[in-house]
Amino acid sequence: MTIDELRKTKRIAILAPVAWRTPPRQYGAWETVASNITEGLVKRGWNVTLFATADSITRARLHSIIERGYEETPGEDAKVVECLHIAELMEHAADFDLIHNNYDFLPLTYSRLIKTPILTTIHGFSSDRIRRVYHKYKNDSFFVSISNADRDPELPYLATVYNGIDISNITFRPEPGDKLLFLGRIHPDKGVHLAIEVAKRARMKLLIAGIIQDRAYFDLLIQPHIDGRFVEYIGPIGPAERDAAFKVAYALLHLNELPERFGLVLAEANAAGIPVIAYDRGSCREVIAAGETGFLVNSVEEAAAAVSKVGTLNRAACRSRVEQHFSIDRMVGGYEAVYAEIFRRIA
């Protein structure tokens, strides 16, 4: 069948996480991607049902059993919520021709109990321990990676489909701001303390935005430097606040202590025309074109030196690369090809 025929005849269920609303108000990378996939498919004419929280916003059919994200509901039990949410879809699996799982490994445990094929986008391995589940069900689900760097050698991937971002709500900034920017989770893995050190070496103000995921880390290594003058923390931000932060940004610092899986913020910053200085770990070299849309470094010293070279980069080229490789349209086109291959294999 052609893609047009598949759009007209196949019913797709998108399984989103329920930590946050889909799309999230502020933080929520997986919910963001699930939303972008859903809305992109609907725009192309697919029959899509989104399984997400009841307060989610979508043009697809919305199927919910969870009122609000468990991270937004004090006292909620995350394990109970995710079991109810995933089971709800699996109990309706026969209503769909394909389940597109964006909820990690737990849905795989249903794959031998239902007839509907499952496509799992692996948004990252949070722990090596969960690989046991993927390995057990590696022949019972189809898999897509979000970068070539973040792959398990034992899994039979159909493709790598890069995450796509909504460029329409990111304003291109042809003129640079005067601040360095960190945007992400406040956690040791994200290297916020390293961003502070780089900013001090470069003698530039650092703006920090994101949720505090490790309070002890924040209190010990981040809070003492926050003075509002050289280091400022503005908390979690949504799309509108992010756009305002991009307006004043000279460059984005992304000094991950662990290999990056994809890095939505890298593409988001580039979409605004902001070059990125990132550790050369994981997928960063796939998202950032070294010497064109940012610099890949291996130390704080190299990162600080790269700040002085940011002015040599073409901000329009940063935006153009995102439009070519990391748009919603490009991502959805990749998933349409994967869907077609799945339906060909099960026909």
Is the pLDDT at 1 greater than 90? The verdict is: no
Do 73 and 100 reside in the same domain of the chain?
yes
- pLDDT (tens digit, 9 = 90+) per residue, 126-144? 889 999 999 999 999 999 9
Is the pLDDT at 192 greater than 90? The verdict is: yes
- pLDDT (tens digit, 9 = 90+) per residue, 196-231? 999 999 999 999 999 999 999 999 999 999 998 899
The tally of domains found in the chain comes to 2
Is residue 14 within 8 Å of residue 102, measured between CB atoms?
Answer: yes
Token digits for 157? 């991937």
Do 192 and 252 reside in the same domain of the chain?
yes
Do 189 and 142 reside in the same domain of the chain?
no
Question: Which residue segment(s) compose the domain that 287 sits in?
Answer: 167-325
Do 118 and 177 reside in the same domain of the chain?
no
- pLDDT (tens digit, 9 = 90+) per residue, 239-285? 999 999 999 999 999 999 999 999 999 999 999 999 999 999 999 99
Is residue 300 within 8 Å of residue 138, measured between CB atoms?
Answer: no
Rounded distance, CA 187 to CA 175, Å? 31
Do 334 and 216 reside in the same domain of the chain?
no
The band of 63, judged by pLDDT with boundaries at 50, 70 and 90, is very high
What's at 111, amino acid-wise?
S
Q: What are phi and psi of 128, to 5 degrees?
A: -65, -25
Do 261 and 284 reside in the same domain of the chain?
yes
Do 221 and 128 reside in the same domain of the chain?
no
Do 320 and 236 reside in the same domain of the chain?
yes
What pLDDT does residue 144 have? 98
What pLDDT does residue 228 have? 84
The pTM is what? 0.94
What pLDDT does residue 27 have? 87
Do 159 and 99 reside in the same domain of the chain?
yes
Do 300 and 173 reside in the same domain of the chain?
yes
- pLDDT (tens digit, 9 = 90+) per residue, 27-57? 889 999 999 999 999 999 999 999 999 999 9
Q: Write down the mean pLDDT value for the chain.
A: 96
The band of 329, judged by pLDDT with boundaries at 50, 70 and 90, is very high
Do 74 and 218 reside in the same domain of the chain?
no
Q: Quick count: other Cβ atoms within 10 Å of Cβ 57?
A: 12
Token digits for 30? 């997986």
Do 195 and 120 reside in the same domain of the chain?
no
Residue 126: CATH number of its domain: 3.40.50.2000
- pLDDT (tens digit, 9 = 90+) per residue, 77-123? 999 999 999 999 999 999 999 999 999 999 999 999 999 999 999 99
What pLDDT does residue 93 have? 98
